[in-house]
Amino acid sequence: MDKEKTKKADTDGSTEAKPTAEVKTSAKKAPAKTGAKIPVKKAPAKSAAEGDVKNAPAKTGGKAPVKKAPAKKAPAEADESASKLVISSSPHFQTTENIPRIMYTVVTALIPAMAVSVYLFGLRVLMLMAVCVVVCLVSEYAMQKARKKSVRVHDGSAAITGILLALMLPPGFPIYGAVLGSLFSIVIGKMLFGGLGYNIFNPALIGRAFLQATYPVLITTWVDPGAVINAVDAISAATPLAMMKFGGEATGLGALFFGNTAGSLGETSAIAILIGGLYLRYKGYINWKLPLGYLGSIAFFAAIFWIYDSSTYASPFFHVMAGGAMLGAWFMVTDMVTTPVTPCGQWIFAIGAGFLTIIIRLFGGLPEGVMYSILFMNAFVPLINRHTKPKVFGELKAKKT
Partner 1 sequence: MIQTQRHIKKTMNLKTFDKGVHPSDHKELTANKAVRTAALPKTVIIPLLQHIGPPCQCLVKKGDIVTEGQMIGEGTSFISAPVHASISGKVKDIDAYPHPSGRKIPSVVIEGDGETREWKAVKGKVNLDNLAPDEIRQKVRDYGIVGMGGAAFPTSVKLTLPKGKTIDTVILNGCECEPYLTSDYRIMLESPEKVVWGLRALMKTSGASRGIIGIEENKLEAVHAIREAISGALDLEVMVLETKYPQGAEKMLIQAAIGRKVPTGALPLDVGVLVNNVGTAAAVYDVFFYDKPLIERIVTLSGDALESPDNLLVRVGTTFEDVINQCGGIKSECREVEVLNGGPMMGITQSMLSVPVIKGTSGITVLEASDIKKKSVEPCIRCASCVNVCPMGLMPYRLGDLGLMARADDFTSWSGMNCIECGCCSYVCPSRRPLLQWIRLGKLRVRQQPKQ
Q: From the list 55, 220, 260, 385, which residue makes contact with partner 1 (rule: CB under 8 A)?
A: 385
Least distance between partner 1 and beta carbon 122 (Å): 35
Q: If residue 105 lies in a helix (H) or strand (E), which one and from where to where?
A: helix 99-121
What type of residue sits at position 20?
Answer: T
55 sits near partner 1 (criterion: CB under 8 A): no
41 sits near partner 1 (criterion: CB under 8 A): yes
Q: Which is nearer to partner 1, 149 or 220 (CB)?
A: 149
Q: From the list 55, 220, 315, 342, which residue makes contact with partner 1 (rule: CB under 8 A)?
A: 342
φ and ψ of 207, to 5 deg: -60, -45
- For residues 17 and 20, what is the distance between their CA atoms, to the nearest angstrom? 9
230 sits near partner 1 (criterion: CB under 8 A): no
Cβ 120 vs Cβ 226: under 8 Å: yes
- 3-state SS class at 388: coil
Under DSSP, the state recorded for 73 is S
Give residues with Cβ within 8 angstroms of 322, minimum separation 6: 239, 240, 241, 244, 251, 256, 314
Q: How many residues bind partner 1 (CB under 8 A)?
A: 83
Q: From the list 60, 61, 66, 101, which residue makes contact with partner 1 (rule: CB under 8 A)?
A: 101
Q: Which is nearer to partner 1, 108 or 310 (CB)?
A: 108
Q: What is the full DSSP assignment across 283-325?
A: HT-S-THHHHHHHHHHHHHHHHHHHH-TTTSPPHHHHHHSTTH
Q: Which is nearer to partner 1, 87 or 366 (CB)?
A: 87
Q: From the list 63, 70, 95, 123, which residue makes contact with partner 1 (rule: CB under 8 A)?
A: 95
Q: Which is nearer to partner 1, 27 or 218 (CB)?
A: 27
Of 260, 264, 238, the C-alpha closest to 170 is 264
62 sits near partner 1 (criterion: CB under 8 A): no
Give residues with Cβ within 8 angstroms of 21, minimum separation 6: 4, 5, 6, 7, 54, 56, 57, 58, 64, 87, 88, 89
69 sits near partner 1 (criterion: CB under 8 A): no
200 sits near partner 1 (criterion: CB under 8 A): no
Which stretch in 89-97, 303-311, 320-328, 351-359 sits in contact with partner 1 by CB under 8 A? 89-97
- For residues 177 and 165, what is the distance between their CA atoms, to the nearest angstrom? 11
- For residues 389 and 399, what is the distance between their CA atoms, to the nearest angstrom? 10
Q: Which is nearer to partner 1, 96 or 311 (CB)?
A: 96
Residues from 169 through 198 that contact partner 1 (CB under 8 A): 194-198
Which stretch in 28-36, 177-185, 216-224, 272-280 sits in contact with partner 1 by CB under 8 A? 28-36
Q: Which is nearer to partner 1, 24 or 258 (CB)?
A: 24
250 sits near partner 1 (criterion: CB under 8 A): no
Alpha helices by DSSP H, listed for 309-380, are 316-321, 325-327, 343-363, 370-378
Q: Which is nearer to partner 1, 37 or 67 (CB)?
A: 37
- Site pattern 117..146 for partner 1 (x: CB under 8 A): ------------------------------
